[in-house]
Structure 1
């Protein structure tokens, strides 16, 4: 496979109506309806398929993330829309739940309605 091949990311959900509210209204993605199979968004040059499944097997790690220019503003915006952010013991996160990596990257984690772990990162 070539580096120039277009990336398609997938996230599994059990309810496309609920996913449309979360990914469209809360996160702010422009969604194209391909029901009954998926919702599709163009995101940062990649395609995101929010795919309907019978049951989500929630992974214990981040399945999808975004790079943002101002993490504090992005966290505050999503928090104002009802999104809660993870706190991990021993991570030394700040009052918003933001962790600073040794590289200087800052990361915050949250869940979608199906329990998928999502993240936002501000690069140094």
Structure 2
């Protein structure tokens, strides 16, 4: 039943204005609605709801990620907008911060203003 329902993703933030500036202004997501409690973005058919909360505890894993066709171009585009790749000990990442998995998928991680880990992935063909 839920496999056919539209997915809504949630990200908490302690500073909604700062989060909107990042998700809309930096990442280029289309803002659909903004209230004092949340900002709603359209992301290729999925709703991303960034909700204002009192406290955020960033987790040590990816919370939101995007599948991209050209990871090098995407990472350069992000870098031009001030986004820096996260670096992780034990992972061989190239000069752009891209890690290549044993199966050929390529991933880069970065953080939003609240410290949530976000990613872009180019899957091996």
Query: How far is 1:51 from its partner?
Result: 0.8
What TM-score do you get using the length of structure 1 for normalisation? Answer: 0.95
| Aligned residue pairs, count | 124
CA distance in 2: counterparts of 1:78 and 1:55, whole angstroms? 27
CA RMSD between the two structures? 1.0
String of CA shifts for 1:95-123, please: whole Å, max 9, x gaps: 11100112211000000001000000011
Contact (CA 8 Å) 2:38, 2:52: kept in 1 or not? Answer: yes
1:18-97 alignment to 2 at 5 Å? 18-97=18-97
Structure 1, unaligned stretches of length 5 or more?
A: none
Query: How far is 1:16 from its partner?
Result: 1.2
String of CA shifts for 1:43-67, please: whole Å, max 9, x gaps: 1221110111111111111000001
The answer to whether the aligner puts 1:8 opposite 2:29 as a matched pair is no
Contact (CA 8 Å) 2:33, 2:41: kept in 1 or not? Answer: no
Following superposition, which runs of at least 4 residues in structure 1 exceed 6 angstroms of deviation? none
